[in-house]
Amino acid sequence: MRRVLAFLLLMGFGAFAFAQADDVVASFNGVELRASELRRLLAGQPPLAREQIAASPAALDRIVRTEMFRRALAAEARAKGWDKRPEAIERMELAREQALVSSYVDSLARPGGEYPSDKELREAYEGNRAEFTIPKQYRVAQIYVTARDKADDLARRARAAGADFAALARAGSEHAESAARGGEIGWLGEGQALPEVTKALAGAKPGDVVGPIASATGFHIVKLLEAREPRVRSFDEVKSELATALRLRRAQENEQRHYDEMLKRSDLAVNEVALQKLKNELAKAR
């Protein structure tokens, strides 16, 4: 199934009419989802959703699973005659109209394929460089304990010449997950580490051991393994997500413009007396 999903992603979402076997992508409780049906489902998604799905195979996996549960529940409901109940018919009609409106508004709001141009993307990038800054990052290992005297002893031993920090972490750390890796936590951005740890690491150099650092739950002895200075992500790195953001904003602007034009052609009249009566009825029913 993963090969099928990857293939769909590679093909993109602009044109799904290509000659391929109509594979069964997923099945559940006797209900199947074929590739052609999945392509139609994806084509019906809003533009931003399609772009997000194209950028994330995991998002497509979630859509497949959600659709399979939806279909299985629908089949179960029909088998029990639920689709013949008056309240269900009324809600289905409402959903049908909502789908019509959604599809129509999507067609009105969707920016042209030429937007944004490379020039517009570069202008947006230059005007928002601060938003693309990656803060300083640290690759660290830690020894975590709850007792102060034990923390002081381990910190002293970790700073001794020739100390094996990984061995100390495996033997003495009370954080089982990192202890199993010799204390390694991996890369942390400045906003991801505990504020106390970030502050302690500010002046450290790779190889330094800092601590014990007191936190709300215990004490941390931290070794700085590597550091990356802050940097601004390049234009090529952010181009795709920037285009998605600009297209979403343009779609929102187009949609609002259409509503404004509708209001210019005809005033929206609300019977405040009748509306208040309904509000009162709803208040009493609570």
- Domains held by the chain: number: 3
Q: Are residues 149 and 210 in the same domain?
A: yes
Give the residue numbers spanning the domain of 75. 2-84
Q: Are residues 74 and 92 in the same domain?
A: no
One digit per residue, pLDDT tens: the chain, 286 residues?
443 343 334 334 333 333 356 788 888 888 888 888 888 888 777 766 777 777 777 888 888 898 889 889 999 999 999 999 999 999 999 999 998 998 888 888 988 888 899 999 999 999 988 889 888 888 999 999 999 999 999 999 999 999 999 999 999 999 999 999 999 998 988 778 888 888 888 888 999 999 899 988 899 999 999 998 888 999 999 998 899 889 989 999 999 999 999 988 988 888 999 999 999 998 888 7
Q: Are residues 26 and 101 in the same domain?
A: no
Is pTM beyond 0.75? Reply is: no
Asked whether residue 285 is assigned to any structural domain, the reply reads no
Helix/strand/coil (H/E/C) assignment for every residue in the chain: CHHHHHHHHHHCCCCCCCCCCCCEEEEECCEEEEHHHHHHHHHCCCHHHHHHHHHCHHHHHHHHHHHHHHHHHHHHHHHCCHHHCHHHHHHHHHHHHHHHHHHHHHHHHCCCCCCCCHHHHHHHHHHCHHHHEECCEEEEEEEEECCHHHHHHHHHHHHCCCCCHHHHHHHHCCCHHHHCCCCEEEEEECCCCCHHHHHHHCCCCCCCEEEEEECCCCEEEEEEEEEECCEECCHHHHHHHHHHHHHHHHHHHHHHHHHHHHHHHCCCCCCHHHHHHHHHHHHHHC
Yes or no: say if 115 and 246 are a contact pair by the CB < 8 Å rule: yes
Yes or no: say if 212 and 219 are a contact pair by the CB < 8 Å rule: yes
Q: Are residues 126 and 197 in the same domain?
A: no
Q: Are residues 34 and 62 in the same domain?
A: yes
Asked whether residue 275 is assigned to any structural domain, the reply reads no
